[in-house]
Amino acid sequence: MELANDEIPLEQGHVPEKVVNRDSETQQLTQAAKQLHNIHLHGPRGTGKTHLTKKTLEEAEAKVCYLSCIEYDTQYKALRKIYSELTGESIGTGHHTSELQRKIKEGTGAVETIIVLDELDFLLLNDGDDLLYFLSRLETNGNLGLVLITANHQDLEEQVEPRTYSTLQPQRIGFEPYTGEQTYEILADRASKSLKPRTVHRAALTYIASSTQNTGYALTWFRTAVNNADDVVTEELVKRLQEKAYSLYVENQLSPLSQHHKILYQAIAEISQESGPVVNTGSIYNRYEIIVDERGSTPLSGRRISDYLKQLEQLNLISADYHYGGEKGKTREIRLTGLQ
């Protein structure tokens, strides 16, 4: 990055000193975290939920355990990670779930602890609410608070069993999508902290900010333009690089998932390019099998692929229209969400 004095502020994962335009949400989260209340943060992708949580909890007196449920998408995986975060010790796979629960119960009773379950949508989709049920009913003398972050579920009461929600009772904090003006402010703030003077045109930032409400994609797009600029980032340059930037954003979103997720997305993209934007699940699976076979691997079952399609939908990389009835019964029509 020849235009940059400091590359870090342009990284999507960089947590800035202040999360722009989220004063009310910061205040609510800070107060709830101090009291170790259970909290549910919800809002579309790219609205600052993760950044705000990480930044706010840096000041927490409690011990903070953070995990992404994209990677830890079962109760067992999550319990192992929570135990490791709480104790600093790694733990093997030979332990029974009940043993892990006992160890965690012992570790959370004496010390104030906040457990953050980011991307909770993935755990609920893959493994139900057993982990939430266990954590919400731990007897910790008020020493445990949960921070639950979702992009697709606005109301957890509709997603978990009544017995779980009755003890969970989280305080809800909603995140609205950023406006174009707010997205511009975020990009300008990052640019001022990263780039040399007079290396970006205002019109370039305005174009990105007016094109997407997803700040994760906006930052990827801006960083791509910086990487490809000779001496200044112009509006013409960001327009030319929009497709490349979105491909990099998709690649980043897929990075924590399995190779089969990536092949599945590739199959959808290829068919969309060949036959049009609407793709049926049968043709997706056929193309997926061809690609897997070419790579010398074994294809997953149709049911597993159906689960993976739902996960791609959770990431907002595809959209699915469900149709019921007719000769084929329930069917899905898949579209790439495309540039957004």
pTM: 0.91
pLDDT tens for residues 280-337? 999 999 999 999 999 999 999 999 999 999 999 999 999 988 776 555 556 789 999 9
Residue 6 lies in a domain: no
* Cα–Cα nearest to 323, from 287, 278, 288, 286: 278
Total structural domains within the chain: 3
pLDDT tens for residues 123-144? 999 999 999 999 999 887 778 9
Q: What is the mean pLDDT of the chain?
A: 91
Same domain, 47 and 117: yes
Q: What CATH number should be reported for the domain holding residue 236?
A: 1.10.8
Residue 2 lies in a domain: no
Residue 128 lies in a domain: yes
Same domain, 37 and 160: yes
The whole-number pLDDT of residue 169 equals 94
Same domain, 228 and 132: no
Give 15-18's long-range contacts (Cβ < 8 A, gap of 24+): 15/51, 15/54, 15/55, 16/51, 16/55, 16/189, 16/190, 16/193, 17/55, 18/55
Residue ending a domain, among 117, 141, 174, is: 174
Residue 186 lies in a domain: yes
pLDDT tens for residues 240-272? 999 999 999 999 999 999 999 999 999 999 999
Q: What is the percent of the chain where pLDDT is above 70? A: 97
pLDDT at 154 over 70: yes
Q: What CATH number should be reported for the domain holding residue 331?
A: 1.10.10.10
Same domain, 238 and 303: no
Residue 64 lies in a domain: yes
Residue 13 lies in a domain: no
Same domain, 149 and 239: no
State the pLDDT confidence band at 188, using cuts at 50, 70 and 90. very high
The whole-number pLDDT of residue 305 equals 94
Same domain, 182 and 236: yes
The whole-number pLDDT of residue 105 equals 83
CA distance 106 to 108: 6
CA distance 68 to 263: 22
* Token pair recorded at residue 42: 């919800």
Q: Tell me whether strands 318-323 and 171-174 are parallel, antiparallel or unpaired.
A: unpaired
Q: What CATH number should be reported for the domain holding residue 164?
A: 3.40.50.300
Residue 1 lies in a domain: no
* Token pair recorded at residue 226: 């910086």
pLDDT at 11 over 90: no
Same domain, 168 and 205: no
* Cα–Cα nearest to 123, from 88, 83, 156, 163: 156
The whole-number pLDDT of residue 103 equals 84
Same domain, 165 and 183: no
Helix axes 202-211 and 180-194, enclosed angle (nearest 10)? 140
Order of strands, edge to edge, in the sheet holding 144-150? 63-68, 113-118, 144-150, 39-42, 171-174
Same domain, 28 and 170: yes
Same domain, 158 and 88: yes
Same domain, 182 and 170: no
What is the distance, to the nearest Å, from the Cα of residue 126 to the centroid of all Cα atoms in its chain? Answer: 15
Residue ending a domain, among 146, 174, 202, is: 174
Structural domain including 128 reads: 23-174
Residue 199 lies in a domain: yes
Same domain, 146 and 264: no
Residue ending a domain, among 220, 251, 282, is: 251
